[in-house]
């Protein structure tokens, strides 16, 4: 059993809104620990559109998703937030002293006095091909990620996809696999050219097969895959034998375990008030794209505003005996000291 991490505010989601919450909470002397399923901060901005320009951040006429993330990280540096990446918060429970305890899918336990859900569109999870009956094979012969390579030793593998994940795993697993096939919808790949060249030379040497097609049906018994039907323009529908399918079609967002936290939900969003951005459960807040209130706009700037108001109420829970003073960073020497600029 790993040691319990203690903090003031547990922030679920390290996207732009979760990051800015660290700033607003930090000004009020509230320490933060962020948990994110991705391997890096920035949420959608870093995962979906790091290179895409955003035009509606106040005072930044244009900024890319990655630049915004980097700037926010710079801005919250003085508050030294802790991060747990690659993990998903699975459960939330109240502690004996009125705070909260969360547990992740990797058994990390964090205790805090408040929880701030800034989970955006939910957890990033692999896209699953909409093939009938695919669930029956998941975990036994259909996979969306490789955790232990050795699991795939001596398998007859079919990899589906045309990006870096698909190509990297094709190349990495090829030496272990009994046979390797790759299926992609067109004969062009957006993966790194070097990987594509390596794959093509394996194909040229008959060491693996490449199919320009799309998987449309799975065949097997008791969760054990035996063949996959592919559909191509040239060959129509045909079956290829394999016992393992690795599908890499990018990520999508799903609400995930947040749905089981015992909070009221409204069409997969978390209703909050517009004074404190608190959920139906006192001490649990929701800010950014994941919350809902009349007039809600899913804008990053709305999430920033929500962070500031949320922090006021979080302060009342964390420092019940202290008086909350509203101060400006331009004039307050104590705030400037926290920011390390004075």
Residues in touch with other proteins (CB under 8 A): 44, 48-49, 52, 121, 127, 129-130, 161-163, 184-186, 190, 214, 216, 249-250, 252-253, 298
| Cα separation, 9 vs 35, whole angstroms | 11
Provide the token pair at 51: 């290179």
The phi, psi pair for 328, rounded to 5°, reads: -100, 140
Whether the CA torsion 283, 289, 295, 299 is positive or negative: it is positive
Between residues 52 and 153, which has the closer beta carbon with respect to other proteins? 52
Can you name the residues that pair with 112 across neighbouring β-strands? 100
Between residues 101 and 298, which has the closer beta carbon with respect to other proteins? 298
Between residues 129 and 256, which has the closer beta carbon with respect to other proteins? 129
Tell me the closest approach of the beta carbon of residue 44 to other proteins, in angstroms: 7
| Cα separation, 94 vs 249, whole angstroms | 38
Tell me the closest approach of the beta carbon of residue 65 to other proteins, in angstroms: 9
Task: Give the residue among 19, 35, 16, 14 at the shortest CA–CA distance from 112.
Answer: 35
Taking residue 166's Cβ as centre, other Cβ atoms within 10 Å add up to 24
Tell me the closest approach of the beta carbon of residue 33 to other proteins, in angstroms: 27
Between residues 113 and 184, which has the closer beta carbon with respect to other proteins? 184
Provide the token pair at 103: 């547990």
Taking residue 278's Cβ as centre, other Cβ atoms within 10 Å add up to 22
Taking residue 218's Cβ as centre, other Cβ atoms within 10 Å add up to 21
Tell me the closest approach of the beta carbon of residue 236 to other proteins, in angstroms: 14
Between residues 127 and 276, which has the closer beta carbon with respect to other proteins? 127
Cα Rg, the chain, nearest whole Å? 24
Reduced to 3 states (helix: H, G, I; strand: E, B; else coil), residue 97 is coil
Between residues 81 and 121, which has the closer beta carbon with respect to other proteins? 121
Tell me the closest approach of the beta carbon of residue 161 to other proteins, in angstroms: 7
Tell me the closest approach of the beta carbon of residue 342 to other proteins, in angstroms: 39
């Amino acid at each position: 059993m790993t040691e319990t991490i203690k903090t003031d505010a547990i922030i679920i989601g390290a996207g732009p809104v979760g990051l800015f919450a660290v700033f607003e909470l930090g000004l009020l002397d509230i320490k933060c620990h962020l948990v994110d399923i991705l391997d890096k901060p920035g949420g959608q901005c870093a995962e979906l559109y790091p290179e895409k320009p955003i035009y509606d951040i106040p005072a930044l006429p244009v900024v890319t998703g990655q630049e915004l993330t980097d700037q926010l990280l710079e801005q919250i540096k003085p508050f030294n937030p802790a991060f747990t990446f690659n993990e998903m918060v699975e459960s939330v429970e109240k502690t004996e002293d009125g705070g909260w305890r969360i547990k992740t899918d990797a058994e990390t336990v964090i205790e805090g006095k408040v929880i701030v859900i800034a989970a955006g569109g939910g957890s990033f999870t692999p896209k699953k091909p909409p093939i009938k009956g695919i669930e029956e094979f998941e975990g036994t012969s259909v996979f969306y990620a490789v955790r232990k390579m050795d699991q795939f030793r001596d398998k007859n593998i079919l990899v589906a996809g045309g990006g870096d994940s698909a190509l990297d795993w094709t190349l990495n697993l090829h030496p272990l696999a009994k046979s390797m096939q790759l299926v992609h919808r067109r004969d062009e790949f957006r993966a790194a050219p070097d990987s594509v060249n390596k794959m093509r030379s394996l194909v040229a040497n008959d060491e693996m097969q490449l199919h320009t097609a799309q998987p449309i049906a799975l065949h097997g018994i008791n969760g054990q895959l035996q063949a996959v039907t592919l559909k191509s323009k040239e060959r129509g529908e045909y079956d290829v034998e394999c016992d393992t399918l690795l599908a890499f079609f990018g990520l999508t967002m799903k609400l995930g375990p947040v749905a089981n936290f015992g909070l009221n939900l409204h069409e997969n969003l978390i209703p909050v008030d517009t004074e404190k951005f608190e959920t139906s459960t006192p001490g649990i807040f929701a800010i950014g794209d994941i919350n809902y209130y009349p007039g809600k706009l899913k804008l990053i700037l709305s999430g920033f505003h929500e962070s500031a108001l949320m922090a006021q109420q979080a302060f009342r829970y964390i420092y019940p005996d202290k008086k909350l003073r509203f101060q400006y960073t331009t004039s307050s020497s104590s705030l400037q000291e926290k920011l390390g600029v004075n």
